[in-house]
Structure 1
Amino acid sequence: MYHPTVARLTYRALLGRRRAAVLFILPALLILIAVAVRTFNGVDDQIASDVLGGFALATMIPLIGVIAGTGAIGPEIDDGSIVYLLAKPVKRPTIIFTKLIVAISVTMAFSAIPTFIAGYILNGNGQQIAVSYTIAALVASIAYSALFLLLGTVSRHAVVIGLVYALVWETLFGSLIAGARTLSVQQWSLAVAEKTGGDGMITSEVGLPLAVVLLTGVTIVATWYAGQKLRTLTLAGDE
């Protein structure tokens, strides 16, 4: 299912000079915020949780997911170069699966690692906060990558739609409307991380069993549907 050549081309596209610069900005900002907060406030578990939950999980990780997920396939569809890839003897599900793996690995690298570093800077992993939010970042990276890869497959405005979802739904509605929280990747990942956090420092609006089902279901369905859309695109190109 994994195709090394497709993966290499996708990594090259995602980590090109312009995209790599954008990917580094948010993690650098998170670490800068962590250093500033630690300098002025010292060690505070609640503040550490607020910074990691409010910025890393609610803002940084969805945005990185948008860049990695849509960038794994969207530009190729937009400029027509996907036709050359589809002309190769590579199964369409293999293309999607490989691009998903690349998107997940890039999202994890640029979100989970900085989250762990920032957590350690903020409070030295007191109450397991750094580890818990790192787990949330890893879990969220998978679901976001699948969702935004699908978006890059079905829409030429994937980046705009992804940004609206990340900034409006996850960050704004997710913090104000209780019902929206249930349909939030952020809350699902928090449910997984909640089990490792100490003294109720991390809480979620969604129970763990439901969160696992939703995370798994969204990832599988989004990946499957992206493969179907790519197969349709191939048929349209042949016609």
Structure 2
Amino acid sequence: MSTVSWITARGLFGRRRFLLLFPLPILLVGLAVLARSAGVDPGEWGPPVVQGLGLAVLLPVTALIVGTGVLGSEIDDGTLLHILTKPLPRWQIVLPKLVVATVVTALTAAIPLYVAGVLVDSVRFGLGLAAASAVGALAYSAFFLALSLVTRRPVLLGLVYVLIWEGLLNNIVSGTRVLSVQHYVVTLADRIAPTALLDGSVSLPVAIVMSALFTVGFTLLAIRRLRSFSVAGETS
């Protein structure tokens, strides 16, 4: 499993795609520092920066880039075929890749969110955002990793989920929020560090249970789909 993790990390950090992870964290921290330095009321800039940019854009987009990359890129360049020829149970391939995707996503999102949280409110709020974003990173990563095995266009479908489902429908049809990782993260952060800056629209039990279901369900789906790969690199 350590070998698979190393191959995954090396492939991820060695691609230009990894450079796409930097602009959003820099933008988030930059806006927070600028607003704090200008003396703007945190109630005015906090929600759009922390929730609107950090939790609604930075976290899912980072997870999408990384989650679809840890397997998708190996499918494209044929590296996955070499791994599949090894006598490894498929879960020993999927789980290390999920761990790498989760760790990279969590660090990329949690650190700038922590900084923004401290600037807008307090250290506790920053820690709440970091902890909740780590949970979201795991759920998002499992989802996007599975997408990379289910479809040939995982990035496109991932953007549809992030932009249309979470970004548009959640604001129109409240019932869709029960299937929104973003809302689980907001609720968890709000419960860890209660503040008027966040509006958790699902209950804590729903956030916990659905985060677990997303993670376990899509991880099992990824394992099952990987088992269907032939040596020719095509799914059945």
Scaled by the length of structure 2, the TM-score of the pair is 0.91
Residue 56 (structure 1) aligns with: 54
Please say if residues 63 and 140 of structure 2, whose CA atoms lie closer than 8 Å, have aligned partners that are also in contact.
yes
Which of 18, 33, 38 is matched with 1:20 structurally?
18
Residue 75 (structure 1) aligns with: 73
CA distance in 1 between counterparts of 2:135 and 2:43 reads 22
CA distance in 1 between counterparts of 2:106 and 2:7 reads 19
Q: CA deviation at 1:23?
A: 0.8
Q: Which runs of 5+ in 1 are unaligned?
A: none
Q: CA deviation at 1:130?
A: 1.9
Please say if residues 85 and 231 of structure 2, whose CA atoms lie closer than 8 Å, have aligned partners that are also in contact.
no
Q: CA deviation at 1:202?
A: 2.7
Does 1:34 find its partner at 2:32? yes
**Aligned ranges for residues 10-159 of structure 1 at < 5 Å?**
10-42=8-40, 44-45=42-43, 47-125=45-123, 128-159=124-155
1:3-59 deviations in Å (ceiling 9; x for gaps): 111101111121125122111111111111112221234452453243211110011
Query: Closer, same or farther in 2 for the Cα pair 1:53/1:124, shift >3 Å?
Result: same
SS of the equivalent of 1:6 reads helix
CA distance in 2 between counterparts of 1:79 and 1:156 reads 13
Q: Which amino acid aligns with 2:115?
A: I
CA distance in 2 between counterparts of 1:214 and 1:46 reads 31
Q: Which amino acid aligns with 2:191?
A: K
Q: CA deviation at 1:151?
A: 0.4
CA distance in 2 between counterparts of 1:167 and 1:146 reads 18
Query: Closer, same or farther in 2 for the Cα pair 1:124/1:237, shift >3 Å?
Result: closer
Please say if residues 46 and 120 of structure 2, whose CA atoms lie closer than 8 Å, have aligned partners that are also in contact.
yes
CA-atom RMSD in angstroms? 2.0
CA distance in 2 between counterparts of 1:124 and 1:216 reads 28
Q: CA deviation at 1:211?
A: 1.5
1:115-134 deviations in Å (ceiling 9; x for gaps): 10122233444xx4322222
How many pairs are equivalent? 235
Please say if residues 48 and 129 of structure 1, whose CA atoms lie closer than 8 Å, have aligned partners that are also in contact.
no
Q: CA deviation at 1:102?
A: 0.5
Which shows bigger deviation, 222-231 or 83-92? 83-92
Q: CA deviation at 1:172?
A: 2.3
Q: CA deviation at 1:198?
A: 3.0
Residue 163 (structure 1) aligns with: 159
Scaled by the length of structure 1, the TM-score of the pair is 0.90
What percentage of aligned pairs have identical amino acids? 37
Query: Closer, same or farther in 2 for the Cα pair 1:35/1:237, shift >3 Å?
Result: closer
CA distance in 2 between counterparts of 1:194 and 1:88 reads 45
Q: CA deviation at 1:153?
A: 1.2
Q: CA deviation at 1:234?
A: 3.5
Please say if residues 57 and 136 of structure 1, whose CA atoms lie closer than 8 Å, have aligned partners that are also in contact.
no
CA distance in 1 between counterparts of 2:178 and 2:185 reads 11
